[in-house]
Copies of this chain bind each other. A is one copy, B any other.
Amino acid sequence: MTDGEAVNKRQMAPVITLTTDFGTSDAYVASMKGVILTINPKAVIVDICHSIEPQNILQAAFILSTAYHYFPEGAIHLAIVDPGVGSQRKAIILKTPKAFFLAPDNGALSYIIDELDTTPAKPAHHFSPSPEQRKLGAGFEAVAITNPDFWRKSVSTTFHGRDMFAPVAAHLSLGIAIHKFGESLSHVFAFHIPRPFRDNQGNLIGRVLHIDNFGNLITNIRSGDLPGERITVTIGSQHIDGISQFYAEKEGLAVIVGSSSYLEISLKNGNAAAFLDAKVGDEIRLKQ
């Protein structure tokens, strides 16, 4: 996609999505939308999620990574979970072949960067405790948002979402090229996302990446990682045999390939996370 093509696509469907930990009890999200619509009245704004747990950067990163695939090409995705707002952390635009992402440079784009990272060192077995510098692969660009021409005139130290990210997204949706917003970056920060690995006994070891609204546990094992259908999954003290095709198929706990191709653990007519007292990062073991 050349810059010109991107512009055309964006002018046809200037979709801007929002993922934040702002909640919906305050006017924070609405203020961002007001700023965007003032600059680009044709912007189509879509909420992805505003109930990210306060300051849970990895949760925002996961949610955004499962959603952005389904949006039009050239869509602009904001992910604002920003405990370091006003400090020296950078604000960035990341351009991929599919979309634009705006976020503080604090790991909020970790899953997207992890997908793109063609030269990972040793794959991680755990989430890294903090984000680390990662070199961008070919076909991807990033800039630091440093040019105040596209910000609100007065930028608060506490709400860059409204004063910096929203106006930059709106200008981007009008077709302005990303290099106008600041200098290029070769590296951005990302958490290492754990990859499944085999232990000494040949078991495939995965981790829970996310717990959804139904209490389904979404793991880092993908359908392509599966050695076959005749498997036993162990989580905590529970063992689950076989893979189900859909949620309603089986009573009790079930393992299923979910809608984003991740292996999920669910409980028929119940909440698997509550039943298992499970949390993000928990280990699951898959035995053939």
Closest to A159 in B: B259
- Sample of 11 A–B contacts (CB below 8 Å): A13-B37, A15-B37, A25-B49, A25-B213, A30-B67, A38-B71, A55-B269, A70-B162, A83-B247, A86-B246, A87-B246
Residues of B within 8 A of A17 (CB): 30, 34
Residues of B within 8 A of A8 (CB): none
Q: Which of B72, B83, B213, B269 contacts A248 (CB 8 A)?
A: B83
Residues of B within 8 A of A34 (CB): 15, 17, 46, 67-72, 75
Beyond A51-B25, A158-B258, A258-B156, is A67–B37 a contact (Cβ under 8 Å)? Answer: no
* A141 → chain B closest CB, angstroms: 23
Q: Are A87 and B248 in contact (CB under 8 A)?
A: yes
A47 near B: Cβ within 8 Å?
yes
A33 near B: Cβ within 8 Å?
yes
* A90 → chain B closest CB, angstroms: 14
* A105 → chain B closest CB, angstroms: 14
A31 near B: Cβ within 8 Å?
yes
A63 near B: Cβ within 8 Å?
yes
Binary interface encoding of chain A residues 99-122 relative to chain B, with 1 for a CB under 8 A from any of its CBs, else 0: 000000000000000000000000
Q: Which of B67, B214, B246 contacts A27 (CB 8 A)?
A: B67
Binary interface encoding of chain A residues 75-92 relative to chain B, with 1 for a CB under 8 A from any of its CBs, else 0: 100000001111100000
Q: Are B15 and A30 in contact (CB under 8 A)?
A: no
* A273 → chain B closest CB, angstroms: 12
Residues of B within 8 A of A258 (CB): 156, 158-159
Residues of B within 8 A of A156 (CB): 257-259
- A-B pairs, top 10 by smallest CB distance, nearest first, are A86-B246, A159-B259, A23-B213, A34-B70, A27-B67, A34-B71, A13-B41, A30-B48, A156-B259, A31-B70
Q: Are B37 and A46 in contact (CB under 8 A)?
A: yes
Give Cα distance in the complex from A247 to B66, angstroms.
30
Q: Are A85 and B246 in contact (CB under 8 A)?
A: yes
Binary interface encoding of chain A residues 9-50 relative to chain B, with 1 for a CB under 8 A from any of its CBs, else 0: 000110101000011111110111111011001001111111
Closest to A213 in B: B23
